[in-house]
Chains A and B, each alone.
Chain A
């Protein structure tokens, strides 16, 4: 059974940093693209970042480019996102989601339950 569990969320002041993790199980993590997607309170879904199966390719939404860094440790079956220079508009529930096997251009399935990040002074 495929399982994704996010952690690391919390309340952080504007301008500070936070690192989220996503622990994966039930599938061959090292062969799948992985994503971060966020959802601000009461709003829709916004794709944040993607990393290829081997970590060699990374792409970001314009809204986070230069501030967020996606990474993965295939030996630990874990996905990360380092979020720097956080802003109020980064406040959201952050989901990790599995992408395609070997393929960057694919749908997302499944999704974790999310971890909440609140940026506030």
Chain B
């Protein structure tokens, strides 16, 4: 099974600043990597797929990069609505453990 490790567990950033979240896979997942945002009491929302493609309706301040085992989600200028938990997910490993999530990074207001 591919293990996804996110860092840091918690990130404290001030509004208007840049946030950089990391995700590492235990083996290569090529570009089969998605990022989701989850706010309290809400379902996860897709932000990024294919490691770097923004989903429909996602603001340009969200960007994804990386391939293989190292991935990054960058939020260029944090807005109040961006403070949430972010999960990465791989969807590459066939057929066992096809979909695994990282443990999440909580982005909080500094």
Nearest Cβ on chain B to A88's Cβ, whole angstroms: 21
Q: Which of B46, B92, B104 contacts A108 (CB under 8 A)?
A: B46
Given contacts A44-B87, A44-B103, A45-B87, contact A107 B98 (CB under 8 A): no
Residues of B with C-beta under 8 A to A114: 43
Number of interface residues of B (CB under 8 A): 26
Given contacts A45-B87, A109-B55, contact A104 B44 (CB under 8 A): no
Number of interface residues of A (CB under 8 A): 19
Interface residue? A25 (CB, 8 A): no
Contact B49 A111 (CB under 8 A): no
A-B contacts besides A45-B36, A95-B43, 10 pairs, CB < 8 Å: A44-B102, A44-B103, A45-B44, A45-B87, A47-B99, A105-B92, A105-B98, A108-B36, A108-B99, A109-B49
Nearest 5 interchain pairs by C-beta: A109-B46, A107-B34, A111-B43, A107-B49, A47-B99
Q: Which residues of B contact A (CB under 8 A)?
A: 32, 34, 36, 38, 42-46, 49-50, 55, 87, 89, 91-92, 94-96, 98-104
